Amino acid sequence: MKLINPFSDLIEKDPDQNDISYLMMIALVIFMVVLSETALVFSTGGAFLLVSNLFYFPLILLNLKFFTKGLSTSTAIGLIYFLIAVFLVNFDIEGLLIGFSMMLTYIAVGISISMISKTSNESKKTLIKSISNYENLFEEIQDAIIVYDSEGLILGVNNAASTLLGLEKKYVRFLKIDDLKNFIDEDALKKAFYDVSLSGSGFTDTELRQSDGNIVYIEIHSSIIDSSKGVMRAYIRDVTDRVIAEKKIIASETRYRHLTNQLPEMIFELDIDGNFCFATRYSINIAGRTPEELSGGLKLWDVLVEEDRDRARKNLEWFFKGMFLGAVEYRVKKPDGSIIPVLVHFSYDFDDDSSVRGIKGIAMDISQRKRMEMALRRNEKKFRSLFENSNDAVIIFNRDGMIMDINTRLCNMLGIKRDEAVSQDLKCRFPESEWDKVSGMYEVSSSGGIFFESRMQHREGDYIDVEISSGIIDPEEGLYQAILRDISERKRGEVELAVSRERLNLAIEGAGVCVWDWDIERDEMYFEGNYDEMFGQVKEHTDRSGSMWREILQQEFYKIIMDYYADNGNSSSTISDLKSKQFESEYKFKTETGLNRWITVLGKVVDCDSDGNPVRIAGIMQDVSDKRMYQDALYEANKKLNLLSSITRHDILNQIAGVRGFTDILSKRLPEENSELQHYLDRIKKATSNIQEQITFTRDYQNIGVETPSWQNLEKIIESSRSKAQLRNIAFFNDCRGLEIYADPMIEKIFFNLLDNTIRHGGDVTEIEVKCRKNSDCLTIIFRDNGKGVSCDLKEKIFDHGYGSNTGLGLFLVREILGITGMGISEVGEPGKGAVFEIQIPADHAREVR
């Protein structure tokens, strides 16, 4: 079955048939016919006219049939007519002319007809060929084409459509558009095939399910072919590859966007007017903008600081003119006012037709770099300042030993100017003997450095001792730096120190002491001096590491310090006090030979940690065995003397008892009239009584200096003295509270004596007051009564031995007892207004009770 040619009725006539040349030729022929016919009428009349016109029939028929031979055919007929006209009708000139004109007319008409016929025939052939071409094109075109009418009847499909639908053409021929629902979504079908009748053309892209189940993406372009017949045509293009490619592109684009959004660079696109078309999230965040702001016509320069905006506009202008910009720095100003420096690289954004449609830009936040640059500049400045203001001399030189720079300190040290030294050989500044060392400075590796002592030469020729620390500062450039310190003073100091050290050693040796230093934090202990001489024979002593002394110092002596620390609280003043206080303790040991050894340990807290705990203690140890032996002997002697004193006192008092007893007996037996003997007996009694008092007095003071001084509560001492004194109606006020004094245990006797003195010699005393006054130098105890006082001439005499109405020892011994611990006493009262005794106690012999 032959398919209908969907184009056969649609081919238009060839427009060449209406060509003007044909029209002119026809006009000419008609003119010639009219002219010849007119001439024929006028010359021959109607019969010959009829005969003449009969020649047109064969002429037309022959030329229509044999249009390729129109000239010959027309010429033949014309000649026949000419011959007939000449020989049969009228053989004259007129006849010749008419015959000849008619012959020409026939030839013209014949040629015209043959030409028209030929042309018509060729047009037909061309048309047929064209239709064939159209058919071939229709079939062979890669797009599927469906021709259908307004009723939806499919008039024809090409091979591509058949292939696309997966159906044979012969089946498609009988389908209707609605039958394509199996392949194309109904809505898309309607839009693609039917809506075209309303708008004249239509376009739809949709999916097509092929008969084998494959899905292909298609575009349907539909249009009206013949509106009068309601014929429409739909091109269906398989765009699966393109759609897949587009999807891939979209996916790729999405991934690109996603990737760019993740990048810590600001990536953006501008149109040719500088408007933002796209910006990564990072860019938006950095610029402190919202996506809406960027898509709302924000321009590049809108996000920049005012000063950069013109430059940005001009840069874009130049860029679009083809100028290479490279990397450009701008400053982005965020809405909150903060400024971010960025480095922007621009590139063209080309359209599909390779025309520039905008700019792509990548901007990097260079805040960090700027800060680093700033820091670098600051560091450079600092380095320069450090270099110039350093207390140490600094010299910079290269690997060839050429001086590159020196600082002011070195200029001053060597007495030279900078320009004199720069570019000189480094060795020039050192004596030749030091050149090997100097060479070593620029032979060190990049990782190393050298430190040595050397000598440099001053401009005036003197040599300066220097300490040099050298190292490489720029391995690539081969630059080295040496820090030089003038150690002339130190050298002199070292010599002096050595001398001083020697003196100290001599002193330590001479004093027979051992110096110890305990670093508590590092648990290290050092002994120096006469350690072996001192402890060599001590049984428990093992070696010089001082294990025994470590225990003693770390336990017993340390405990003394910590007890003091605990007793006095953990205040800053206590820590200061602790560091200024010297602790002392004595320890007894037995030597290998059985002798007792006494060692005095003296120590001070040298350093404390932040909590005030001692971390370093140092001091000396001294063998005080001899001194201790003398002290023991002295103590024993004192005891013996006390015993002797006691026995003697006892015996004397015994004898005094005898003397007094028998004197009484004698006095009673003596006649009263013997007044002279009575008088002598009274003198004996008085003398005996004086002896008794003095002997008794020695009992009270026999222990002066026997017991060691100790800290005693002042208030309690005074109260105790008061309780023993017979104050009777005398009011007593004791204001000395919260104080301790370091004094001889006999101190209580002092106040008793002063009270007793007031009672005995003060006159009408009604009030006694004891109070204290403290200043930085000393504590003053003021003992005041409201008696008759002490006259000016007696203020010192009352402290003399033997002065007074009794033994004359009271105030004398008061001063002596106080003097044992460095205290003093004086009478400062105003005569007639009461006695005022002031006892001065050194500041370190008084403290507050804690």
Pairwise CA distance, residues 815 & 797, whole Å: 12
262: left (phi over 0), alpha (psi -120 to 50) or beta: alpha
Let me know if 702 is exposed, middle or buried by CB neighbors in 10 A (0-12, 13-18, 19+).
middle
Question: For another protein, which is the closer residue by CB, 643 or 828?
Answer: 643
Going by C-beta distance under 8 Å and a sequence separation of 6 or more, which residues neighbour residue 486? 393, 413, 464, 465, 466
Q: How far is the CB of 657 from another protein (least distance, A)?
A: 3
Beta 339-350 vs 327-333: how paired, if at all? Answer: antiparallel
Question: For another protein, which is the closer residue by CB, 159 or 692?
Answer: 692
Write each residue from 597 to 636 as x if it is in contact with another protein (CB under 8 A), else as -, in one continuous string.
Answer: ----------------------------------------
- The 8-class DSSP code of residue 824 comes to E
Cβ-defined contacts of 312-318 (< 8 Å, 24+): 312/274, 313/274, 315/346, 316/270, 316/274, 316/359
Beta 479-486 vs 463-474: how paired, if at all? Answer: antiparallel
Q: How far is the CB of 628 from another protein (least distance, A)?
A: 26
Q: How far is the CB of 690 from another protein (least distance, A)?
A: 13
Question: For another protein, which is the closer residue by CB, 223 or 703?
Answer: 703
Q: Which tokens in the block code for residue 419?
A: 């320009």
Q: What is the number of other CB atoms lying within 10 angstroms of the CB of residue 552?
A: 19
Closest CA to 594 of 544, 542, 538, 532: 538
Binder to another protein among 559, 650, 686, 774 (CB under 8 A)?
A: 650
Piece in contact with another protein (CB under 8 A), picked from 123-131, 371-379, 493-501, 653-661: 653-661
Binder to another protein among 651, 682, 707, 800 (CB under 8 A)?
A: 651
Closest CA to 172 of 193, 153, 149, 186: 153
Question: For another protein, which is the closer residue by CB, 222 or 753?
Answer: 753
Q: How far is the CB of 663 from another protein (least distance, A)?
A: 10
Question: For another protein, which is the closer residue by CB, 296 or 661?
Answer: 661
Question: For another protein, which is the closer residue by CB, 613 or 667?
Answer: 667
Strand order in the sheet with 356-365: 276-279, 266-271, 356-365, 339-350, 327-333
Q: How far is the CB of 814 from another protein (least distance, A)?
A: 21
**H helices within 612-713, ranges in order?**
625-669, 675-701
The amino acid at residue 513 is: V
Q: How far is the CB of 644 from another protein (least distance, A)?
A: 13
Q: How far is the CB of 652 from another protein (least distance, A)?
A: 8
**H helices within 785-837, ranges in order?**
810-820
Q: How far is the CB of 758 from another protein (least distance, A)?
A: 25
Going by C-beta distance under 8 Å and a sequence separation of 6 or more, which residues neighbour residue 692? 653, 656, 660
Question: For another protein, which is the closer residue by CB, 84 or 653?
Answer: 653
Site for another protein in 404-463 (CB under 8 A): none
Pairwise CA distance, residues 769 & 766, whole Å: 10
Site for another protein in 8-67 (CB under 8 A): none
State the residue for tokens 């009847």. Answer: 153
Q: How far is the CB of 678 from another protein (least distance, A)?
A: 17
Piece in contact with another protein (CB under 8 A), picked from 204-212, 596-604, 649-657, 840-848: 649-657
Pairwise CA distance, residues 649 & 700, whole Å: 12
Q: How far is the CB of 658 from another protein (least distance, A)?
A: 4
Question: For another protein, which is the closer residue by CB, 136 or 646?
Answer: 646
Question: For another protein, which is the closer residue by CB, 61 or 643?
Answer: 643
Q: What is the number of other CB atoms lying within 10 angstroms of the CB of residue 846?
A: 21
Q: Which tokens in the block code for residue 619?
A: 């001091």
The amino acid at residue 212 is: D
Binder to another protein among 379, 646, 674, 690 (CB under 8 A)?
A: 646
Cβ-defined contacts of 731-735 (< 8 Å, 24+): 731/766, 731/767, 731/768, 732/767, 732/768, 732/769, 732/770, 733/767, 733/768, 733/769, 733/770, 733/771, 734/770, 735/769, 735/770, 735/771, 735/772
Closest CA to 201 of 220, 218, 176: 220
User: Per CB under 8 A, does 649 bind another protein?
Assistant: yes
- The 8-class DSSP code of residue 180 comes to G
Q: How far is the CB of 697 from another protein (least distance, A)?
A: 11
Question: For another protein, which is the closer residue by CB, 399 or 699?
Answer: 699
Question: For another protein, which is the closer residue by CB, 130 or 703?
Answer: 703
Question: For another protein, which is the closer residue by CB, 399 or 650?
Answer: 650
Question: For another protein, which is the closer residue by CB, 5 or 645?
Answer: 645
Write each residue from 657 to 696 as x if it is in contact with another protein (CB under 8 A), else as -, in one continuous string.
Answer: xxxxxx-xx----------------------x---x---x
Pairwise CA distance, residues 112 & 132, whole Å: 30
**CA 697 to centroid of chain Cα atoms:** 85
Q: How far is the CB of 660 from another protein (least distance, A)?
A: 4
Beta strands in 390-489 (DSSP E): 393-398, 403-406, 449-457, 463-474, 479-486
Q: How far is the CB of 655 from another protein (least distance, A)?
A: 8
Piece in contact with another protein (CB under 8 A), picked from 29-37, 353-361, 424-432, 646-654: 646-654
Binder to another protein among 38, 654, 675, 826 (CB under 8 A)?
A: 654
Site for another protein in 711-730 (CB under 8 A): none
Piece in contact with another protein (CB under 8 A), picked from 22-30, 268-276, 366-374, 642-650: 642-650
Q: Which tokens in the block code for residue 61?
A: 């028929």
Q: How far is the CB of 621 from another protein (least distance, A)?
A: 38
Binder to another protein among 640, 699, 797, 833 (CB under 8 A)?
A: 699
Question: For another protein, which is the closer residue by CB, 230 or 745?
Answer: 745
Instruction: Note the residues at the interface with another protein (CB under 8 A).
Output: 646, 649-662, 664-665, 688, 692, 696, 699
